[in-house]
Amino acid sequence: MPRNQARHSAAISLGIMGAGFIGTFPLLGYGAGALLHGGFEAGLVGGLADWFAVTALFRHPLGIKIPHTALLPRNRDKVIRSLVNVIENEFLTKESIKSKVGAFLAGDKLLSLAERHADDAVRAIVSVSEYAARHLPIDRIVPILAEQLKLKAKDLDSSAVLTVLRDEVLERGYEEQALHFLLRKAEGILVRDAARDQLGAMAANALSGIKAGGLMGFAVNAFAGFMSEDKLGVLLQNAILSSLREMRQYENHPLRMLLLDEIRRILIELPNQAGVAEGLDAAKLSMLNGWDLEGYLRKWLGELRERAIAFVQEERYATEIVAPAVNGFLARFREEPERLDGILGWVEDRISGLVDENHSRIGALVRENLDKLDNKTLIEMIEDKVGSDLQWIRVNGAVCGFLIGLLLEGVNLIF
């Protein structure tokens, strides 16, 4: 019942007792009238006494500063200290808090609760994922990431990089593929007319520059006079093309094997060549200094963020990734409860430590909040919570007084 309604009922009961007390004066000469008068008189006394007692808890009755009234305002500090003491040492003791935490952290209970709310967990993870993607602090990440990448690149051992590349090339047979590629390119160049003409001109110049006398000179001059540049070009072109095709066709071709051995030797010695490593270091530093790494990273992370946002908004992210992960996570803990027990034990220890360190703050928090209230507000708050029950004390006092008055007056009439 609301406090105002209870106060109204208490006032009515007191009014009834007062009216009955006054109204039965003319009936004092009669036994029943005297009996009722005594009952109403005792009820009026009881109602007034309880009204005084209830009122004296919160304020001075009728505004008169009677000693030992307005008990709560006068003993505010004592009441608050008692309340804080009860809360800290009776209701919210360290042991009670720890026991409640321990009961809540029971493995089976916590797993069952988590399984019932697995769908809520999936939705929460999706929301957190989208929030994290949208609010990725790119502007703060980029400078740090760029600086770390530059430091790592500067510290990178060029000889070690060359060694890794060499081993990878040799292991995968890339040197053979490179030779095959070069042979095809050479063949594609040599089949051209321009290459043939160039070869013919080079051969003719070579023949004209040969200095030989006697029979050798005669033979060379006879051959040079017989072979024109075109014929020499065709002859050399066909000879070289034939060799290139044979090298591509036969893996055991002597010239092919010679070239592969030379390529492999160069690759094996590559990491130990100081000039190559130094050149790679110089190229690395030049690239780092000339490349807008932060701009590239900012653009790349921006694109990555947009893709991530679009991805987490797709239904398959929740159904195919998050939900299976959550269910698998719970299933593993259900199958291996010792893992969960270890985690919960650690959590309980941490919470117990926090309780031990901060238990006194409970009382301090209660006192702080109560100190913010003035006496009027504090009393109104207490009356709002318990005032209706206190008003019923007045009603009960009036009724009980009336009944006791009837009893006592009846005894007087008898004796």
Question: Contact at 8 Å (CB) between 45 and 51?
Answer: no
User: 10 phi and psi, to 5 degrees?
Assistant: -65, -40
Question: Contact at 8 Å (CB) between 309 and 134?
Answer: yes
pLDDT at 240 over 80: yes
pLDDT at 220 over 60: no
State which of 59-68, 126-135, 219-228 shows the largest mean pLDDT.
126-135
> For the residues 367-373, what does the mean pLDDT come to?
71
pLDDT in tens, 8-42: 777 788 788 888 878 887 777 777 777 887 777 87
- When pLDDT is cut at 50, 70 and 90, the band that residue 306 belongs to is very high
Question: How much is the pTM?
Answer: 0.43
Q: Can you give the residue ranges of every domain in the chain?
A: 3-74+374-414, 158-285
- When pLDDT is cut at 50, 70 and 90, the band that residue 216 belongs to is very low
CA nearest to 281, candidates 157, 166, 168: 157
- When pLDDT is cut at 50, 70 and 90, the band that residue 179 belongs to is confident
> Angle between the 174-190 and 254-269 helix axes, to the nearest 10 degrees?
130
pLDDT at 264 over 60: yes
Q: Which helix (H) or strand (E) holds 121?
A: helix 118-134
CA 235 to the chain's CA centroid? 76
- When pLDDT is cut at 50, 70 and 90, the band that residue 309 belongs to is very high
> Angle between the 360-371 and 76-86 helix axes, to the nearest 10 degrees?
150
